[in-house]
Each structure stands twice: as C-alpha cells, then as structure tokens.
Amino acid sequence: MRRLSILLVFTAFAGAASASDHHWTMAFAQGTFEAIIRNETGASLNIYCPSGQTDTTPGMFLESKKLHPRKGERIEVQIIVGARKYPFRFDEIQFRATGQEGVTALSSLIEGLVKSNRKTFTVEFSPSGNSEIFSVRGAKKAFVSPGEFLSGCEQS
C-alpha cells in the first residue's frame, strides 16, 4: 500500500510539472537565439534570431498536429495577443522576416508578447481555420525586448 501511495504522489507531481511547463524558454545554439513556447497539445512556436550565422534573417517556426501544409504552400497566420492581431505569411511552417517590413512585423509581435497582461495568446492559421493557444508566461524573460532579442539580426 505504501508503494502505491508513493507512486500516486510521484504521478501527481509529474502531471502538475508537465502542465505548468508551458512557458517561454530561451536557448542559444550554433549562433542562433531561440525563444520557444509549447502547449499541452504538443504544438510549438519558435521565434529565432540567427545573429551568429551567415544569414542573419530572423523568423519563426510553427508546428502543430492541426497544420499540414503541402510542399511550397503558403499559410496565412494570425497571432492574436490581447486585442491586437499580427498577420504573417508562412512558407509551409516557417516565416522569414525578410526586409524592413518583416523585421518590423516580428518586432511588433515580440513587443506585444513582452507587454501583454493576458495569460494566453492564440495562433490562427488558414486555410484550415484551426488555431492553437499558448501561454504568455515567461515571454518578458525570454525576449527582454524586441531590440535585445533581435540584436545582430537582419535590420535592413
């Protein structure tokens, strides 16, 4: 009986830990800064700045079991933080912030996440009409600010 009680306690803590692990994390590898958020369905949004690479174009990757783009397909994505919508056009699962317009759009999104007082934000993607919900928790710590996170990335 005692073993069963201990097993139940560990199982409860493991479940609680995984449920609370859905926050922004920061990583640096091979010359690229990445801020990554995952949700309980296994979807992820990765915002990156490859400042230590030859190509310093920042961008995002979106992965979801609800998203199945064909090779070369362009996906319209709206990221909704509070009342503000940030539109992006992904090539399959990647958005590359090319040119000033792309960098400004990505910078605005980062600023919205850092300043948000909401608990979650939504990523909607077309043409399927599906969406994913992610936590805003940890965004300020992961990004600090758009200028800090995107420092060294393409600013053309």
- The 74-81 sheet, strands edge to edge: 25-29, 32-38, 44-49, 59-63, 94-96, 84-91, 74-81, 120-125, 130-135
Number of structural domains (the chain) is: 1
Which H/E stretch holds residue 99? helix 99-115
Does 62 fall in a domain? yes
Does 118 fall in a domain? yes
- Residue 127: domain span: 23-149
Q: State how far the Cα of 89 lies from the Cα of 105, in Å rounded to an integer.
A: 11
Token look-up 């960098």 returns: 103
Does 74 fall in a domain? yes
Asked whether 135 and 37 are in contact (CB, 8 A), the reply is yes
pTM score: 0.85
List the chain pLDDT tens, one digit each, 156 residues. Answer: 444 333 333 333 333 334 346 899 999 999 999 999 999 999 999 999 999 999 999 999 999 999 989 999 999 999 999 999 999 999 999 999 999 999 999 999 999 999 999 999 999 998 778 999 999 999 999 999 999 999 999 765
